[in-house]
Every structure is written in structure tokens, then in C-alpha cells.
Copies of this chain bind each other. A is one copy, B any other.
Amino acid sequence: MALERTSAGAAAPTLRDLETPCLVLDADRMDRNIARLRGRLAGFEVSLRPHLKTAKSIEVARRVMASPAGPATVSTLKEAAQFAAAGVRDMVYAVGIAPAKLARVLDLRAKGVDLAVVLDTVEQAEVVAAVSRDASAAIPALIEIDCDGHRSGVLSTDAERLVAIGRALGQGAELRGVLTHAGGSYGARGESALRQCAEAERRAVVDAAAVLRGAGLACPVVSLGSTPTAHHATDLAGVTEVRAGVFVFFDLVMAGIGICGVEDIALSVLATVIGHQREKGWILIDAGWMAMSQDRGTAKQAVNQGYGVVCDMAGDAYPDLIVADANQEHGIITVRPGSGASLPDFAIGDRVRILPNHACSTGAQHRSYHVVRGVSDVVEAEWPRFGGW
């Protein structure tokens, strides 16, 4: 079904008209989530460069970016190309650059897109500089800084490597600045720990910028971000921009850390009841891991939400009702063990909405968003999503 926004007179489809499983986006919740981070960052001298890897949608991007031209962050060159085609002109491709990808970067830059790359080795910097020289087109690069040991990046204390990368870029490319991501904050618990993650993130990237500047290198951009730290930073001195992605939709992992409430989660998967195993207290639905993803990000949290939390058609969660197990196209709903909650009496054909553990991974299982607002079941629009690389 390809829906355009319906006019007032047409019979608008509702959630009951959709094929299941499918992805539902509550635009009221999304709008509130976007306004909340914007409001929080308004108190700092930073710009917001939203990470569009969560949404992979032009319609969502336009609602979250400061302007139709950006700025934005992307995780693949496919995203860069799709958003460029929609008019975005200022992007950072925030995954360490591979040499074979530079031809596509140059191609987008030649079309007027200011696409910057990210790297953390002298080898990469030398290749980017050489390709820039060959093309007579300086590719801008940010040096990735490791603020918490969770993945890639240079330590801000490794002045030798930082400066060597900066100087290598200077041979034809452009040192645009430094960038970090506090991925470790997803494992933090409590306000105090989250504030510490945010300050460690800031400190790492500000220190790295100081190292580069101390060596006489320009470092205009000082970029950091993750949804948990963006919502907990108390000081952003020296930072020029904040990146975050999942704040747009939120999810059960974010609720588990305490960044949002379950009632703020804007994404859900619409599913249909297809069976029961009454002796076992199971309800079977047609949303398995293909519809929910296999992200079990809450399994390590205080409350394990299985494959997702079961809501009614208005998006309100049933008490302690979760998708406890999943096969490819089957989900098994149960009450949370030990909760004492009772299983609702669903009939075959009844519909539910399932809140996801991880908005990025559940979203990636679907080709479009079906857009509703609040408790209304009217589907206002269908917004395409893209995937791939």
C-alpha cells in the first residue's frame, strides 16, 4: 500500500487496514522527542548534526535537521547519496573511511555536497591526501577520537599519532576537526554515570583539538555525541556540534537507561494475533525477529524486555506483557515471568503494537513508516525508508 497524505474528505486508512507486520511511527511522539533535544541543546553554543542512520528516511530527516540542507551525520555512503539527492548539502560519513570508498566521496563532493570523512590512522590520512591531490579536490576529514575504549579512534593522549594524522592530511586533504562518540554510555546506569560519560566524551575531544592546535594545525570542528550523553551533558565548552540519532524515536534500551519513558517511544511494529498455546500462557503473533530484529539490547539491563513490549492499538503498554521469544515470522507473547500480571484475552485476528528494543535495528527490517499521531488510528502517510550500502 502506497499512501500519500490523505485529504480531509477522503476515507483515511486506519491501523486496522494495514497488512501486518508493519512499522508504525507516532509522529506526535517523534515531534516531542525532537523538540526535547533541541530545547536541551539551546542552552549551549553548539549545533545539532542529527545521525540519520536511525531514520533512513527523507521525511524524518527534514523534521530533525536544522535546515533542508543539513547538517547531518550518516553511517553509509548510500545514506549520503540518498540524502544528497534530497538536497542535504552538509554531511559527515561517520564510519572509518576505506580507500575504495573515496571515489564515491569525490563524486558526491563534485555535486556540491560537503561530505566529510572520518579516520584514525596515518595510513588512511595518507590515502585521503593522495586521492585529494590526484583529484585536485581536498577531501575534508575528521580524526576519530576514542573517548571510552568501546570501538575505534585515537586516544587524546596519543599526541604523536594525532599530529601525524593531521600532518598527513595536510598534504592535499583538509583537517576538518575531531569527532568522538560515547558508545560506552549505552551501558551506563544512573544520572551521575551518564554525566560522567558526557564529560569524558567532551574532555577527550576537546583535549585532542588542543593537541592539534598546539602543533599549529587548524581544528575548526569539535564534534561529539550519543543520545544518552546529549541528554546529560552539563558542560559543552569547546564543543562545536552534537551528534545523536536514536533520540528521534527512542526505544526500550533508552528507556532502560532512563533517557526516556516507555510512553515516549515513537516506533512500534503492528502485529496480528495468529494463535494461542493456552496451557503455556502463550499468544502467537505474526511479528517475529524479521519484523522486530534480533536486537536483545535490554537483556543485559535491569528489565529484560525480550523482543519488545506489547501495547494496545493506541500505543499504551499492557502491564508486563512482552514478546518473550521469536522465530522468523512468529512472535510469542507472554507475561513477564514472576510479574503476576495476567494475560489479556486476545482473539485470533486482534492487533497489537510492539515497542522495539532498538529503533535502529527494528527500523532496518522495514521499507516504510506508517505515520499516526497519538491515540488516533488514522494513518496519515506512508514514508519510505531505504537500506543497503
Chain A residues close to B by CB (< 8 Å): 19-22, 53, 75-77, 95-101, 104, 119-121, 123-124, 127, 146, 149, 151-152, 183, 272-277, 280, 284, 286, 289-291, 293-296, 327-330, 332, 347-349, 360-361, 364-367, 387-389
- Which of B273, B294, B327 lies in contact with A296, CB distance below 8 A? B294
- Which of B276, B286, B367, B389 lies in contact with A21, CB distance below 8 A? B389
Would you mind naming 14 contact pairs between A and B with Cβ atoms under 8 Å apart? A19-B100, A19-B101, A21-B389, A53-B328, A96-B274, A96-B275, A98-B272, A100-B272, A124-B274, A127-B348, A127-B349, A151-B332, A183-B327, A367-B387
B296/A75 in contact, CB under 8 A? no
B389/A20 in contact, CB under 8 A? yes
With A286-B98, A348-B98, A361-B289 in contact, is A121–B276 under 8 Å at CB?
yes
SS class, residues of chain A in contact with chain B? loop
With both beta carbons as reference points, the residue of chain B lying nearest to A291 in the complex is identified as B389
A388/B367 in contact, CB under 8 A? yes
Given the complex of chains A and B, what is the CA–CA distance between A21 and B20 in angstroms?
Answer: 30
Looking at A21, A104, A121, A367, the one whose CB has the most chain B CB atoms below 10 A away is: A121
What residues on B are CB-neighbors of A330 within 8 Å?
A: 95-96, 151-152
Number of copies of chain A assembled together: 2
A349/B98 in contact, CB under 8 A? yes
Given the complex of chains A and B, what is the CA–CA distance between A183 and B366 in angstroms?
Answer: 25
- Which of B19, B75, B77, B99 lies in contact with A389, CB distance below 8 A? B19
Query: Apart from A95-B274, A100-B349, A124-B275, what 9 extra A-B contacts exist at CB < 8 Å?
Result: A19-B389, A53-B328, A75-B290, A95-B330, A97-B274, A98-B286, A290-B361, A294-B296, A366-B388
Given the complex of chains A and B, what is the CA–CA distance between A328 and B364 in angstroms?
Answer: 10
B366/A277 in contact, CB under 8 A? no
B274/A348 in contact, CB under 8 A? no
Given the complex of chains A and B, what is the CA–CA distance between A284 and B123 in angstroms?
Answer: 14
Whole-angstrom distance from the CB of A257 to the nearest CB of chain B?
Answer: 17
Given the complex of chains A and B, what is the CA–CA distance between A119 and B364 in angstroms?
Answer: 29
With both beta carbons as reference points, the residue of chain B lying nearest to A364 in the complex is identified as B290
What residues on B are CB-neighbors of A119 within 8 Å?
A: 275
A98/B364 in contact, CB under 8 A? no
- Which of B53, B99, B329, B387 lies in contact with A349, CB distance below 8 A? B99
Given the complex of chains A and B, what is the CA–CA distance between A140 and B153 in angstroms?
Answer: 59
With A275-B121, A328-B75 in contact, is A20–B151 under 8 Å at CB?
no
Whole-angstrom distance from the CB of A194 to the nearest CB of chain B?
Answer: 19
Given the complex of chains A and B, what is the CA–CA distance between A330 and B118 in angstroms?
Answer: 13
A98/B20 in contact, CB under 8 A? yes
What residues on B are CB-neighbors of A53 within 8 Å?
A: 328-329
Whole-angstrom distance from the CB of A277 to the nearest CB of chain B?
Answer: 7
Given the complex of chains A and B, what is the CA–CA distance between A100 and B77 in angstroms?
Answer: 39
Given the complex of chains A and B, what is the CA–CA distance between A160 and B98 in angstroms?
Answer: 63
What residues on B are CB-neighbors of A295 within 8 Å?
A: 289, 294
Whole-angstrom distance from the CB of A39 to the nearest CB of chain B?
Answer: 27
Whole-angstrom distance from the CB of A113 to the nearest CB of chain B?
Answer: 18
B290/A293 in contact, CB under 8 A? no
What residues on B are CB-neighbors of A95 within 8 Å?
A: 274, 286, 329-330
What residues on B are CB-neighbors of A183 within 8 Å?
A: 327
Looking at A275, A327, A388, A389, the one whose CB has the most chain B CB atoms below 10 A away is: A275
Given the complex of chains A and B, what is the CA–CA distance between A197 and B30 in angstroms?
Answer: 48
Given the complex of chains A and B, what is the CA–CA distance between A238 and B327 in angstroms?
Answer: 28
Given the complex of chains A and B, what is the CA–CA distance between A119 and B291 in angstroms?
Answer: 21
What residues on B are CB-neighbors of A123 within 8 Å?
A: 347-348
With A274-B98, A349-B98 in contact, is A327–B389 under 8 Å at CB?
no
Given the complex of chains A and B, what is the CA–CA distance between A364 and B332 in angstroms?
Answer: 21
